[in-house]
Structure 1
Amino acid sequence: MLFKLSIRNMRKSIKDYMIYFMTLVLGVAVFYVFNSLESQQAMLSISNDTREIVALITEMINYVSVFVSIILGFLIVYANNFLIKRRKKEFGVYMTLGMGKKNISVILLVETILIGLLSLVIGLIIGIFASQLTSIIVAKMFSADMSHYQFVYSSAATFKSILYFGIIYLIVMVFNMISIGRYQLIDLLQAHRKNESIKTKNLGICVLLFLVSVGMLAFAYYQVTQVFNGSQIELLGQMILVGCVGTFLLFYSLSGFILRVVQMNKGHYLKGLNCFVLRQMNATINTTVVSISIICLLQFFTICILSTAFAINETIKKDLRDLNPVDVSITSYVSMNEGIQGNESDVFDVLNKVDITSADFSEYTFANVYNANVYMKDSLAPIVDEIHDSFPYLQLDDAEETFMSVSDYNKIAKQFGNEQIELANNQYAAICDYDNMKNLRDKSLSKGTPITINGQSLVPKYDHCIYGFVVNSASHMNMGIIVVPDQFVMNMELRAMHFNADYAGDQEHTKLMEERFRTLEENGDLAYTVYSRIAMAENATGLTALFVFIGLYLGIIFLISGAAILALKQLSESSDNVERYKILRKIGTSERMINHSLFVQIGIFFAMPLSLACIHSIFGIQVANKLLALFNQNDMLAPIAITAIFIIMIYGSYFVITYLGSRSIIKEDSMV
C-alpha cells in the first residue's frame, strides 16, 4: 500500500522533482567521468612516464572527489528540504486521515530511494558514455595512439560513485525522518499560508552599509591588482575575506533600499506588473541574502578556476612550441660535475657510452656560461630598494649574474631563430624571457647601469632586455644572462655548458635517441641535465591536464551547486506565492503578463549573483595571473569565452527548467 502510494506520489510530483533529479544525475555523471580517468589510460598507447603523470592526476582527483562529495551532500540535503516544504500540506492530509508519522516517513523513504536509484542509474549511464569523450581528450593531450580504441567501462569509478552516493543518501534519509518527526499537524495543514518573515530594514543604515560594501570591494580590488605582487599570500587571504564580507553587505543593503529607490520613478514602477515583480524580488532577496552571497562567491571561484585552467592549457601549448626549437638540450653545471673543461668532448665522452655520436645530430651548437663575481645588487643597483619592497624574498646580495660571450650567444640565437647581438668593446646586453624579471631589468637598463668586470666598466647597449634563452624549456624561466664581448670571458670562472642539437634521421631514429637518453638517466650515468623536446612535451602536458581536469571538475560542481540552489529557492518562492498569482488573475491580468513577470523575476534572481561574480572575476583573474606568473599568461579572451560557454550551458539549463517549473506550479495550483 505505502509502496504504491509512493509510486503514485512520484508520478504526481515529477515536475517538483525535476530540478532535484537533474542535479543528482549531473552530479553522478560528473563524478563518474572524472573518477574513470585511470581506466581511460589503460587502452591508450602511451609511454611509462605519461602513465605516471596520469596516475598522479588520478590521485589528485581522488582527493578532490571527497570535497566534491561534501558539496553534493549539502546540496542534496538542501534540495530535500525544498521538497518536504513543498509537500507539507499533503503530509498534513495524510495525518488527518489517520496515518502516523512513521508511515509518512516510510513513504518519503521509499520515494527518496526510488528517485535516488533512478538518478544513480541514469547518471552512471550518461557518465559511462560521456567518459568516452574523456578518452579522446586524454589521447589528444598526450598524443596517444587510438588505433586500438575500445569502449571502456570503469568498475572502480562505478564503485566510488555508488559508495559516496550511498553515504550521502543515507544522511538525507535520516534528515528526512527527523524533519517529519518535528512537524505538528497544525504546522503541516497551514504550511501554505506561512511565508518566511521579512523584517523591515532601516533605510539610512542600508544606504550606509551599501557605501561601506562598495568601499570594501573597491579597496580589495585595488590591493589585489596594484599592491599584491604574487608572493604576499597573507595579504591575498585578507583581501579575500574583505571581499566576502563586502559581497554579503552589498546584497544585504540592496535588499533594504533598492525597492524604495525604484519607487521614486513612478512611471517605471507602476508600468505593467513592475511593482509586483519588484516587491517579489525585494522579498526574495531579503530572505536569501546569505544564499545569494555564497552562490556569488561560488560563481566567482568557478569563473576564475575555469578561465585560469584553460589559460594555462593554452599558454603551455604555446610555450612548448616557442621554447623548444631543437630536439634536445644538454646542460652541465661545474658544481655538479667538476671534471668538465667546457669542451665539446665533455659532452660526447658521456654520450658515447650509449653509442650516441656527432653523426646522430644534423646540427648542434656548444656554448659556455660563466661567473664574474657580479651580483644582481650590482646590475640592478638603481632599483635595489624598489625590489626589496616589492619582492622581499629575492636575495639580490647572493644572486650571482651569469655571463656569456657574444659569439656563443649568437650561435644559439641563430639556431633558435632569435635576435642576434652586436657589441662594442665597452658594451654589454642582457637577455631574458621571464616577464617579471624583464620588467625589473628594463628599469635598470633604462638608467644606463654600468657593470665592472676585471676592473673595466661596461655600459648597456640597449635600454631594455633582449628576448632570448639558451636551452629548451617548458616555460619562460630565463631570469637573465649578460652577454659581453668575447675577450671578457677568457678569465672568467666556468659555470656551465650548454649543448643544443637536432637529431639526424627519421622518426625511428628520433625514437631510438630518446630511448638512449632515457637509459642514461635511469642508470644515473648522465652527469648532465637533458631537456628533450618530446620529454618536455609529455611533462608539460601532464601539468596542463592536471590543471584542466581539476579546474573542470570543481568548476562544473560549483556551477551545478549554485544554479541548483537558486532554482530550488525560486521554485519554493513560486509555491509560496500561488495565492498572489490567483489574485492577479482575478483582477484581470493576462497569462502573458503573468508569465512575463515570472520570467523577469527569475531572470533578475539568477543574474544578480552572476553579475557581481563577473565583476569580482575581472580582478580575480588578474590575481591568478600574478600567482601563475611563471606561465606568462597574456591572452585571456579564448579561456574566458570557453568558460562563458560552460556557464551558459549549465546555468542557462537551470534557468529554463526553473522558469518552466515555476510557471507550472502557479498554473496548476491556481486551478485547485
Structure 2
Amino acid sequence: VKVMSVIKLSCQFLRNNMRNYKFYLLVITVTVAIFYNFLALAYNPSVASLADTYMYAQIAAVLCMNILFLVVIFFMWHSNHFFFKQREKETGLYMLMGVPTSKIGKVFAVESVVLGLLAFAIGLPLGILTSKLFFMLLAKAMVIEVVLPFAIPVAAIRDLVLVFASLFLIMGFYNYRAVCKSRLIDLIQGAKREQQVPKLKYMRGIIGILLIAVGYFLSLKGQGLGINLMSVAIIVLWFVCIGTYFFFGSVLSIVLSRLIAHKKLIYKGERLISLSNTLFRLQNNYKNLAMTTILCAATVTAFTTSLAVKTYADHNLLIEVPYSLNYLGRELKTKKQVQQIIQSSPHQILGQVETEFLLLDKQGHIMDLNELDDVAVQKVIADKNYGYMITSVGQIQKILECIDYPQKDKLLKQLACESGEMTLMLSPGIIGSTISSIGEVRTIQGKSYKIKNESKVPFIGNIGPLSNTFGYVLNDVDYMKVKGEQQGIINNGINISDQEECLPLLTQLVGTVPGGESNLNNYMGHYLYKYKLVGSFYFLGLIISIVFMLATFSTLYFKVLSDAFSDRQQYTMLKKIGMTEQEILKSIYMQIGIAFVLPAVVGACHAFMANQVFEKFVKGNYLMDYLTALGLFIALMIVYYIGMSKKYFRLIFD
C-alpha cells in the first residue's frame, strides 16, 4: 500500500508539473531516439557483410555516442537542479505538515524515474521508426548504393535500457538524498532570499581576460612557438573555458555596475529594470551564462567542422585523384599498351601529361634508379626505403594546366621560391597534421634548403605506398642541379571521358601496368573509398551539432523559466503602479536578450578560434563553412529568443 501511495503521489505531482517538464521530456525523448540509431548502426546484423563500407560510420557512431552520453548527463543534472530549486518551498510545506523527509524524497525520486521512463517509452519507438531514414541518409552522405536493411537489434535495445535506466535511477537517488539532507528553514526561505549585488572581483576579471587572450593567441600562433598542434588544442580548450567562467563571474558584473552608475544611460526607457535584474542575479546565473557560452561555441564548432569535412573532401578530390587514372612507368612499351587499351574502350582520352620526380633516401641523397626497369622501381617503392619525393615548380605547373586546376595562379604563387628555399608537399592521403615544418632546414645532396611553405599539391595522388609520402618542391634551377645525371620516375596522368564508368577499363589496365593495382590510381577507386569516411563523419557530425544545439537551448530555457518565476511578483507590482504591458514586454526582451546575445557573441568568437586550429590541422581555409554555421545558429537563436521572450511574459501574467 505504501509503495502504491508513493507511486500515486509521484504521478499526481508529475501531472501537476507537466507544464515545466515539457521541454525536458522533449530533449530526453529525442536523445533516446538518436542514441538508439547509433546503437542500431553498431549492432545491425547486416554490418558484418558490409564491414569495409560501414567501418568508418561505426567508428564515427561510437565517438558520437560518447559525446551524446556526456551531453545528456549535463542536461539531466542541470534540469534536475532547476526543478528541485523551483520546488523548495513546496518541499518545505510538506515537511511543515509532518510528512517525513524520507517519504518526500521517495516521491520525488519516483517522479523523476517515471518521467524518464515516459521519455524512454516515447523515444524508443521513435528511434525504431526513424532508423530506416537514418540509414538512408547515412548511405547518401557516404555516396554508397548499399543501404542497411531495416532491423531491430535486441542488443541495441538492451544497451539503451542499461544506459538510460542507470541514468534515471541515479537521478532518482540524487533527488532522494537531496530531500533527505534539506533543512526546513532553508526550504521555506529559499524563495525569499534577498538578491545582492555581486562583489566586483577585478583580479579574477583580469585573469579571465588574460586566459582567453592567451588561448586566442595560441590558436593563432601556437605552432610558430614550436608547440604541437594537439597540445595547442588542449591548452586553448582549458584556457578559454576557465577564462569564460571568470569573465562572466567578474568582468560582466563590473561592466553592468558601471552601466547602472551611468545615470543618463540607465534612466532611458526600460533599461534600469533589465540591467538591474541581470546584475543582481549574476551571482547565481554567471555559471549558467558561462556554460551556455561554451555550448554555443561547441554547437557552431561541431557544425563548422561537419561542413568543413565535406568541403575538404570536395576540394581534396584533385589532390588525391588529379586524373581519371595515372600510373608510374618510364618504358615506352607499357605506355603504348595503355594507349591501345583505352582507344579500344568506349572512353576517349581528353588529356594526358607526363611529370617527373626523384626519390630521396633517409640520409638526404638522391636514390640511383638509372639501371632499374619499371618492375624494379616498383619493388624499390614497395620497400619504402626512401624519405621524400622531389619535384619542381615547372612539373607542377604542367599538371595544373593539364587538369585545369581552378586555383592555379594562387597555388603557383604559393610554390614560388628562391634558391635555397622549397615548399613541403604534404602527402595526398593525409587528412591533417598536428605539426608544422615551416622554417625548418633540410639537407639534399649536401646542400641546405629552408622550408618556406607547406601545401597540398595535385601531383601523383593516392598511388601505392607513395600516397603517404611527403615531397619537396624546388624551383626549376635547383631541381636540375639536384637531379644531375639521375633518371627520374615518370608519372603518367590520363584524363578520359565517362570516368565514373571506367571500372571495366581499370580491370584491363591492372594486368598491364608494372606493379598492378598498387600502381594504378583512379577516380572510381581510392577517392570514393576515402569519401565514405568523410561522408560518415559529415552526417554524424551534423547529428551531434543538433545535440549540442538542444543542450544550448536547454540551459537558456531553464534560466528564462527561473527568472520568470522570480520576477513574477516584481512585474505584477510594476504593472499596478502604472507600467504598461508593452513597456514590460520591452524590458523582458532586453533582459532575455542579454542572456542570449552575450553567450552567442562570446561563443562565436571561441568557435572562430577553434576553426583556426582546425584549419591548421587540415591545412585549408574554411571561413565560409564557419560563416554558414554561424549564420544558421544565429537564425535559430533569434527564433528561439522571440519564443522564450513571449513565454516569459505569459509565465509572469498567467
TM-score, structure 2 as length reference:
0.76
Q: Which moved more, 1:76-85 or 1:154-163?
A: 154-163
- Amino acid of the structure 2 residue aligned with 1:52: D
What's the secondary structure of 1:498's corresponding residue? strand
Contact 1:331 1:498 in 2 (8 A): yes
Deviations 1:523-570 (A, max 9, x none): x97384332211233233123224324533443333322331232133
Measure, in 1, the Cα distance between the counterparts of 2:356 and 2:292.
56
Q: Distance in 2 between matches of 1:81 and 1:400?
A: 58
Cross-structure match for 1:32: 36
Cα deviation digits, residues 418-441 of structure 1 (max 9, x gap): 69x9xxxxxxxxx99599x73767
Whether 1:402 and 2:399 are equivalent positions in the alignment is no
Structure-2 separation of matches of 1:178 and 1:212:
37
Once the two structures are overlaid, the 10-residue window that deviates more, 63-72 or 652-661, is 652-661
Measure the CA separation in 1 of the matches of 2:142 and 2:419: 38
In structure 2, the partner of 1:258 is: 255
Q: Distance in 1 between matches of 2:591 and 2:343?
A: 74
Aligned ranges 1:280-319 → 2 under 5 Å: 280-319=277-316
CA contact (8 A) 2:229 2:617 kept: no
Is 1:624 equivalent to 2:614 in the alignment?
yes
Secondary structure of the corresponding residue to residue 81 of structure 2: helix
- Per the TM alignment, residue 216 of structure 1 is displaced from its structure 2 partner at its CA by 4.4
Distance 2:399 2:160 in 1: 53
Offset at residue 494 of structure 1 (A):
3.9
Q: Is 1:512 the equivalent of 2:504?
A: yes
Q: Which amino acid aligns with 1:592?
A: Q
Are 2:622 and 1:645 equivalent residues in the alignment?
Answer: no
1:329 pairs, out of 326, 338, 349, with 326
> Distance between the aligned counterparts of 1:188 and 1:418, measured in 2?
70
Q: Report the residue type matching 1:164 in the other structure.
A: V
Cα distance between partner residues in 2 of 1:244 and 1:298: 10
User: Is the contact made by 1:304 and 1:621 (CA closer than 8 Å) also made in structure 2?
Assistant: yes
Residue of 14, 18, 21 corresponding to 1:17: 21
How far apart are residue 442 of structure 1 and its match?
Answer: 10
1:50-96 deviation digits (Å, cap 9, x = unpaired): 75252232134224423421331232122112112212222333334
Aligned partners of 1:454 and 1:241: how far apart in 2? Answer: 45
Q: Residues 525 and 442 from structure 1, CA distance in 2 versus in 1: closer, same or farther, beyond 3 angstroms?
A: closer
Greater alpha carbon shift after TM alignment, 366-375 vs 598-607? 366-375
Residue 476 of structure 1 and its aligned partner are, at CA, apart by 12
Correspondent of 2:415 among 438, 447, 464: 438
Q: For residues 321 and 198 of structure 1, what CA distance do their matches in structure 2 show?
A: 62
Cα distance, 1:619–1:287 mapped onto 2, change above 3 Å: same
Show the counterpart of 1:587. Answer: 577
Cα 1:71–1:58 change in 2 (3 A) is: same
Q: Distance in 1 between matches of 2:363 and 2:404?
A: 29
User: Which has the larger displacement, 470-479 or 217-226?
Assistant: 470-479
Rate the CA distance shift 1:417–1:648 in 2: closer, same or farther, 3 A: closer
Name the CA distance, whole Å, in 2 between partners of 1:181 and 1:487. Answer: 83
Q: Which runs of 5+ in 1 are unaligned?
A: 333-341, 379-397, 422-430, 447-451, 458-462
User: Secondary structure of the residue that 2:245 maps to in structure 1?
Assistant: helix
Aligned counterpart for 1:569 among listed residues 528, 538, 559: 559
**Structure 1 residues 440, 64: closer, same or farther in 2, change over 3 A?**
farther
Distance 1:318 1:438 in 2: 18
Deviation for aligned residue 1:175: 0.4
Q: Cα gap change, 1:312/1:409 in structure 2, threshold over 3 Å: closer, same or farther?
A: closer
Report the CA distance between 1:626 and its aligned residue. Answer: 0.9
Contact 1:368–1:494 (CA<8 Å) still a contact in 2?
no
| Residue aligning to 2:74 | 74
Name the CA distance, whole Å, in 1 between partners of 2:313 and 2:45. 22
Q: Deviations over 1:84-123 (max 9, x none)?
A: 2212222333334443333323332332233212222333
For 1:341-400, what per-residue CA distance to the aligned partner results, in whole angstroms no more than 9, with x for missing partners? x31446899x99xx978845744655543359999999xxxxxxxxxxxxxxxxxxx976
Aligned residue number for residue 388 of structure 1: none
Structure 2 counterpart of 1:217, from 204, 209, 212: 212
**In 2 relative to 1, CA 264–33 (structure 1 residues): closer, same or farther, beyond 3 Å?**
same
- Counterpart in the other structure of 1:7: 11
Aligned to 2:99: 99
Match of 2:264 in 1: 267
Within the candidate set 449, 460, 473, 1:471 is matched to 460
- Cα distance in structure 2, aligned partners of 1:504 and 1:41: 39
Q: Which residue of 1 aligns with 2:243?
A: 246
Name which of 357, 368, 379 aligns with 1:369: 357
Contact 2:68 2:547 in 1 (8 A): yes
Identity over aligned pairs, percent:
19
The alignment partner of 2:145 has SS state of: coil
Q: Which residue of 1 aligns with 2:548?
A: 558
* Alpha-carbon distance in structure 1 between the residues aligned to 2:289 and 2:473: 48
2:342–2:348 contact (8 Å) kept in structure 1 = no
SS, match of residue 109 in structure 2: helix
For residues 221 and 178 of structure 2, the distance between their equivalents in structure 1, rounded to whole angstroms, comes to 50
Cα RMSD of the aligned pairs, angstroms, is 4.8
Distance 1:86 1:512 in 2: 70
Q: Residue 281 of structure 1: CA displacement?
A: 0.3
Alignment check: 8 A CA contact 2:222 2:232 kept: no
Deviations 1:449-470 (A, max 9, x none): xxx9999x9xxxxx99999633
Contact 1:344 1:366 in 2 (8 A): no
User: 1:15 Cα shift?
Assistant: 1.6
Q: Is 1:480 the counterpart of 2:473 in the alignment?
A: yes
Q: 1:161 to 1:479 in 2, by over 3 A?
A: farther
Cα distance, 1:572 vs structure 2: 2.1
CA contact (8 A) 2:142 2:535 kept: no
1:578 equivalent to 2:564? Answer: no
- Describe the SS at the equivalent of 1:637: helix
5+ residue gaps, structure 2: 367-385, 424-442
Supply the AA of the counterpart residue of 2:191.
Answer: H
Structure 1 equivalent of residue 199 of structure 2: 201
Report the Cα offset of residue 485 of structure 1.
12
